[in-house]
Chain A
Amino acid sequence: MDTGLIAIAAGLAVGLTGLASGWAEKDIGSAAVGAMIEDDSLFGKGLILTVLPETIVIFGLVLGIMLMGQM
C-alpha cells in the first residue's frame, strides 16, 4: 500500500482527535479551574472531568500507532 497515504492517515488520526479533545477540554478545564478556586476540595472532580475527553485522542493515538505498523 502507499506508505505516504498511511502516514497521512496516521497524522490525521492523531491531529484531528487532538484538536477535538482540546476543544472539548477548553471549556471544561476553565470551568474546573473556576470551581477549584472557590472550593479546592473539588480538585479531584475537576481533574477527572477535564481529562475525560482525553480518551478521544488516545483512540486517535492507538489508531495512529497501528497504522504506522502497516507501513
Chain B
Amino acid sequence: MFGRKGNYPYAVARVRGKKRMLLKGEDYSKMMVMELPEISRFLGETNYQKEMAELGGRFEGVDLIEHATYRNMARNFRSVLDFTNGELHDMLAAYLTRWDHWNVKVILRGKSFGADMESIREDLVPAGNLSEEYLNSLCSMEMGDELFAELSRKLNAPLPPSAVEAYKQFGKLTSIEDYLDKLYYERLLDAIGTNTKPKRLFRAFIQREIDIINLETILMLKEEKAPPEVILNYFIEGGLQIDRKMATNLANAEDRKALAAELVKLDFYEEIKEALESEEKPLRNVMDALRLYQIRKTETLSYLYPLSVIPVFDYMFHKKLEVDNIRIIARGKVSGLDTDTLKRLLVI
C-alpha cells in the first residue's frame, strides 16, 4: 500500500522544530502558580495562539484550555500528515487512525455516562480520518443500536455482537474498547508490511508499543484480581517480546515475585524494576515508568535513525505529554490542588 520513499529531511527537520517549541519544565512551574485565565493567556502567546483566538470567545476557564489543547494537538498532527509524502505519509496516516479509535471510545464512554455533548467534544482529537463534523454528528446521536451500526459501517468492521450485548446487559464498554484496540493494531500491522527498511523499523516500533500496552493491561487487571482467562481475553497479538505464552505465565503469576521472575526476560525490565518494587501505588508507578520508558526509548531511537519515522513519533509523544500536563494543571487548578500535588501528577 505504500508508495514512494517520502520527504524525510524536510519532515524530520520540521518535527524537530515543533518539538523544540514545546513548553519547557520552567513553563510548567510557572503555570502551576498561575490562575486559569492567566494560563489561557500564556498558552495564547505560545503555539496555542490560533486555538485560543478561535475559541476564546466561546469558552472560558478550564473548558477553553481543554478544547484548545486537544484541538491544537489534532491540528499539529494533521499538519505533520499534510507536509509528509510517500511512504512516510502513508505510515503516519495508518498510525494516526488511532485517534479515530480514541474518538470513538471517548464518544461511547461519554454517552454511556450520559455526559453532555460539550464535555464529550472537549476530549475529541480529530487527528485521524474521521472529521470533526462527522464526530460531532456522532455526538448528537443517541446511544444504541443506530450508533453501533453507524460505527460498524464507518470503521468498516462490524462490532462483535457479544461485545454489544455486554454493554446492553451490564453497561460495560470494555469489550467494545478492547475490540477497537485489537482492530487498530491488527490493521496497522497488516498495513505496514515488511518489504522496506523504514517499514521494518516502524513495525518494530509498533510491536514494542503492543508489548507495553499488553503489559499495562495485564498488570491493571491483576491489580483488580481478574481471573487469568479474562486477562488473556484482552491480549493483543503481534508484540515483540510478550507472546501469548509469556502473557499466560504473567496472567497466572501468583504474587509479585513470580511476576518479576517472568518480567526479567523483558529487555526493559530495568526500567520498571524500581517502580514494581515500590510500596505505594506500584501500578501507577509502573505505568508512569512504562510511559517514560517509551518516550525515552523513542527519543534515543530518533537519534539512532535520524531520517526515519521515529523522530515524528518522538515529537508526537512529547506533544501528547505536553497537552496532558497542561490539562492536568488546568483540572488541578479547578479542583484546588496545591502545587506540590500537581507537581507529582505531571510527567516531565
Direct contact between A and B judged by beta carbons closer than 8 A: yes
Q: How many A-B residue pairs have CB under 8 A?
A: 37
Distance of A39 Cα from B20 Cα, bound (Å): 9
B16 within 8 Å of A (CB atoms): yes
CB distance from B80 to the nearest CB of A (A): 11
- Closest residue of chain B to A39 (Cβ to Cβ) is B17
Distance of A25 Cα from B236 Cα, bound (Å): 45
Q: Please give, as numbers and ranges, the residues of chain A lying within 8 Å of B13 by CB-CB distance.
A: 30-35
Establish whether residues A31 and B18, one from each chain, have CB atoms under 8 Å apart when the complex forms: no
Establish whether residues B18 and A38, one from each chain, have CB atoms under 8 Å apart when the complex forms: yes
A30-68 to B contact mask, C-beta < 8 Å, 1/0: 111111111100100000000000000000000000000
Q: Please give, as numbers and ranges, the residues of chain B lying within 8 Å of A32 by CB-CB distance.
A: 13
Contact of B12 among A31, A33, A37 (CB under 8 A): A31
Establish whether residues B20 and A34, one from each chain, have CB atoms under 8 Å apart when the complex forms: no
Contact of A38 among B7, B9, B14 (CB under 8 A): B14
Interface secondary structure of B, over-half rule: helix
Contact of A31 among B10, B20, B21, B83 (CB under 8 A): B10
| Number of chain B residues close to chain A: CB under 8 A | 13
- Closest residue of chain A to B307 (Cβ to Cβ) is A27
Residues of B within 8 A of A (CB): 7, 9-14, 16-18, 20-21, 83
Q: Please give, as numbers and ranges, the residues of chain A lying within 8 Å of B18 by CB-CB distance.
A: 38
Could you list 9 A-B pairs, sorted by A, with CB under 8 Å? A28-B9, A30-B10, A31-B12, A32-B13, A33-B10, A36-B17, A37-B14, A38-B21, A42-B17
Q: Please give, as numbers and ranges, the residues of chain A lying within 8 Å of B11 by CB-CB distance.
A: 34
Residues of A within 8 A of B (CB): 27-28, 30-39, 42
Q: Please give, as numbers and ranges, the residues of chain B lying within 8 Å of A33 by CB-CB distance.
A: 10, 13
Establish whether residues B21 and A34, one from each chain, have CB atoms under 8 Å apart when the complex forms: no
CB distance from B195 to the nearest CB of A (A): 24
Distance of A5 Cα from B171 Cα, bound (Å): 86
Q: Please indicate which of the listed interface residues B13, B14, B20 has the most CB atoms of chain A within 10 Å of its own CB.
A: B13
CB distance from A66 to the nearest CB of B (A): 35
Distance of A31 Cα from B12 Cα, bound (Å): 7
- Closest residue of chain A to B16 (Cβ to Cβ) is A35
4 smallest CB-CB distances across A and B, nearest first, come from A38-B17, A34-B13, A34-B14, A31-B13
Given contacts A28-B9, A33-B10, A38-B20, 16 further A-B contacts (CB under 8 A): A30-B7, A30-B13, A31-B9, A31-B12, A32-B13, A34-B10, A34-B13, A35-B13, A35-B16, A36-B17, A37-B14, A37-B17, A38-B17, A38-B18, A39-B17, A42-B17
